[in-house]
Structure 1
Amino acid sequence: MDSPILLLENTDQATKQALENVRKRKEKFDRFKKRHIWSIWGTIIMASIFFAYLYITVASIYSYSFAAMFSAFVNDSNNLTLLVFTVGMYGMMNLLKEKKDKAEKEFHELRCEIVDRSKDYWKKEEEWKNRHLVFEMMKNKYDINLYHEKK
Structure 2
Amino acid sequence: MEKQIEQLNDSTDLATKQMLQSVLNKKRKYERYKKNCFRCQMFTLTGGMAFFLYFYQFIVVPNDSNIGYMLGELVGSAFHFFIILTIGAGYATAHYYKKKEEKYEKEYHGLRTEIIRKSSELWPQPYHWKKRGEVYDMMKKDFDINLYFESK
**Displacement after TM superposition at 1:134 (Å):** 0.4
1-structure distance, mates of 2:131, 2:29: 28
Does the 8 Å CA contact 2:44/2:91 hold for their aligned counterparts?
Answer: yes
Question: What TM-score results when the alignment is normalised by the length of structure 2?
Answer: 0.94
Please give the residue correspondences for 1:32-111 in structure 2 after superposition, counting only pairs within 5 Å: 32-111=33-112
Provide the rounded CA distance (Å) in 1 between the counterparts of 2:13 and 2:145: 19
One-letter amino acid matched to 1:131? R
- 1:11 alignment partner, SS class: coil
Matched-pair contact (CA < 8 Å) for 2:116–2:150: yes
Question: Whole-Å Cα distance in 2 between the matches of residues 83 and 5 of structure 1?
Answer: 48
CA-to-aligned-CA distance 1:53-112 (integer Å, 9 cap, x gap): 212331122224111211222222111111111111111111111110001000000000
> What are the equivalent positions in structure 2 for 1:15-34 lying under 5 Å apart?
15-34=16-35
Given that 1:138 and 1:145 are in contact with CA atoms closer than 8 Å, whether structure 2 keeps it comes out as yes
Post-superposition CA distance 1:109-135 (Å, at most 9, x none): 000000000011111221112211100
Using structure 1 for the length normalisation, give the TM-score. 0.95
Q: Specify the alignment match of 1:132 in structure 2.
A: 133
Is there any run of 5+ residues in structure 1 with no aligned partner, and where? none
- Aligned equivalent of 2:7: 7
Deviations 1:121-151 (A, max 9, x none): 1112211122111001000111101001111
Task: Note if contact 2:11-2:135 (Cα within 8 Å) is conserved in structure 1.
Answer: no
Indicate conservation of the 8 Å contact 1:10/1:126, yes or no. Answer: no
Unaligned residue ranges in structure 2 (runs of 5+)? none
Letter of the 1:122 counterpart: W
Segment of structure 1 superposing worse, 65-74 or 127-136: 65-74
Instruction: Tell me the residue number matched to 2:147.
Output: 146
